[in-house]
């Protein structure tokens, strides 16, 4: 897929105010400081489409971008836990869960994970939540340029081993580096394939 245009559409924290158009939507989400803005800028060949920051948690809104006049790329806030009152049960931020439950335009989500770190409970719990709620997603491992190939393989295997304890299959995944432009063709090709399948089905 060649990115011919990438335009900011809107930011908001109210899912009801998201774009009403029915074009396909792809959501990018991950913990704070996982490199989400850098990845979005790398995928779209735009240096500052998504604002990058050294401060974790800068994205606090649902940000929609229109790509090639054909599909929406959605930049979601980093997920975290919110305690439910009178209960030890944990849920993810309200408008993140609302987004995934209400956006019928969503084709799939991409859960970003910093490949340098051991599997984190909050990432595993979020993917579990996505699976339990029937929300399709792929994993995007970021910052692959920071590790040698053998270490990348080992860290992916660590995730596989943990996920396969409760999942039938390892979710689809991509290895990326924003600074080295690794994984761009693979992620965009995957999105293009899904878009083409929807056109064929219609």
pTM (two decimals): 0.91
Instruction: Tell me which residue of 37, 20, 129 sits closest to 76, measured CA to CA.
Output: 37
pLDDT tens per residue, range 129-179 = 999 999 999 999 999 999 999 999 999 999 999 999 999 999 999 999 999
Mean pLDDT of the region 51-77: 79
Of the candidates 65, 83, 58, which has an alpha carbon nearest to the alpha carbon of residue 27?
A: 65
pLDDT tens track for 175-193: 999 999 999 999 999 999 9
CA distance 136 to 108: 5
- The yes or no reply on domain 6-201 and CATH 3.40.50.300 is yes
pLDDT of res. 63: 92
The 10 Å Cβ neighbour count of residue 107 is 18
User: How far apart are the C-alpha atoms of 114 and 132, rounded to whole Å?
Assistant: 23
Tell me the residue length of the chain. 202
Residue 137, strand partner residues: 109
Domain-by-domain residue ranges, the chain? 6-201
Indicate the helix (H) or strand (E) that contains 75: strand 71-75
């Amino acid at each position: 897929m060649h990115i011919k245009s990438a335009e900011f559409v809107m930011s908001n924290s109210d899912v009801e105010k998201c774009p009403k158009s029915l074009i396909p939507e792809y959501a990018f989400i991950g913990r704070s400081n996982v490199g989400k803005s850098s990845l979005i800028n790398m995928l779209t060949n735009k240096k500052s489409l998504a604002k990058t920051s050294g401060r974790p948690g800068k994205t606090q809104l649902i940000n929609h971008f229109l790509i090639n006049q054909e599909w929406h790329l959605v930049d979601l806030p980093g997920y975290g836990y919110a305690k439910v009152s009178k209960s030890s049960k944990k849920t993810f931020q309200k408008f993140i869960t609302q987004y995934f439950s209400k956006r019928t335009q969503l084709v799939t989500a991409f859960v970003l994970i910093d490949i340098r770190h051991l599997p984190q409970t909050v990432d595993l719990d979020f993917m579990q939540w996505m699976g339990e709620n029937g929300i399709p997603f792929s994993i995007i491992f970021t910052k692959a340029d920071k590790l040698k190939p053998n270490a990348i393989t080992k860290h992916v295997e660590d995730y596989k081993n943990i996920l396969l304890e409760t999942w039938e299959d390892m979710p689809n995944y991509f290895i990326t580096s924003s600074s080295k432009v690794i994984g761009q063709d693979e992620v965009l090709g995957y999105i293009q394939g899904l878009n083409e399948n929807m056109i064929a089905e219609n």
